[in-house]
Amino acid sequence: MMKRMAFCVLVLAIVLGIGAPLAAAAPEATSQNPTAQIQWQQPWYYRWQPFPVWPGWGYVPWPGTGLQYQLSYSQQENQLVLTVVNPTDKRITVTMPTGQKVDFVLWRDGQIVWRASAGKVYTQIVTQESFQPYEAKVYKETLPWLPSGLYFAQAYYLGETQWSPVASTYVWLQAYSHDPLQYSVDYLGPSSFNPTPRLRVTIKNTSGRDITLPYQYGYQVLVKKAGSNNYLPNVGIGQSIGTIANGAARYVFLNLKGLEPGLYQADVRSNVSNASQYSVVAQTWFYVW
């Protein structure tokens, strides 16, 4: 009886030992910085439209079209680059179900971060593309501003398959050392149109590219009496940046109700350039009568 129990324990240990490295083989991009395990809040359709995607290395079906694929990252241009090559001495023609030819998907810690086709509309007609013998074609997509770290990138070529990426790679993104957004804050006194005094905060993307950030990155609008070290507990807001297009401006209004007469200071703070702490990026003073 004791021999049989010992044998069972030995078999269980072997099974667990084999299973452990298999579970660790999932292609999840991680980094050693404190923001590695951040939580992204992207729209649900990033994962499912125009076709579903999963965070795997992918494959090229056999026999397939005969085309070959390579995915790379251009740090200078901040672009994902898919190279499609016809290595044969014959012309290859492929068919896409719509006007969409390629798609790029970026993952981090098993979560989808960005997708090139998100929010785009493609013509709903069958499209064909031909490759002459030994011809290579290049497809590029510029990435948005993202926090520094290691990401897992996938490239889809719809002429081959939409059920799997045809090429994948890890890419290291280096973010700016400064905040890529511009902030300003203005005091709007009572008027016949709006009797409640307000603060108007303007956030503008002047970085030259779209910006996509997880919910931990954002801004705060805080108010305190002039000369005080403490912000008022009942006045202020804090929100995430999320996604803001290049050149776009976002306006935020904060109502100032119930403030006693006196001089006040309003601070706009952001942690976009440093996730571990907020710093003042815009400031104004106003007087309440």
Query: Which stretches of the chain drop beneath a pLDDT of 70?
Result: 1-41, 175-178
Domain 38-173, architecture per CATH: Sandwich (2.60)
pLDDT of residue 216: 82
Which class does domain 181-288 fall in? mainly beta
pLDDT of residue 74: 85
Helix (H) or strand (E) holding 265: strand 262-270
pLDDT of residue 177: 55
Q: How far apart are CA 186 and CA 180, in angstroms?
A: 20
Q: Provide the 8-state DSSP code for 235.
A: S
Is there a cis peptide before residue 50, judged by omega within 30 degrees of 0? yes
pLDDT of residue 277: 82
What beta strand segments (E) does 163-229 contain?
Answer: 167-173, 181-188, 198-205, 211-212, 218-225
CATH topology of 38-173 equal to that of 181-288?
Answer: yes
Domain boundaries defined on the chain: 38-173, 181-288
Q: How far apart are CA 246 and CA 72, in angstroms?
A: 24
Could you give the angle at the alpha carbon of 141 between the alpha carbons of 137 and 144, nearest 5°?
Answer: 170
228-246 burial by CB neighbour count: b if 16+ within 10 A, else e?
Answer: eeebeeebbeeeebebbee
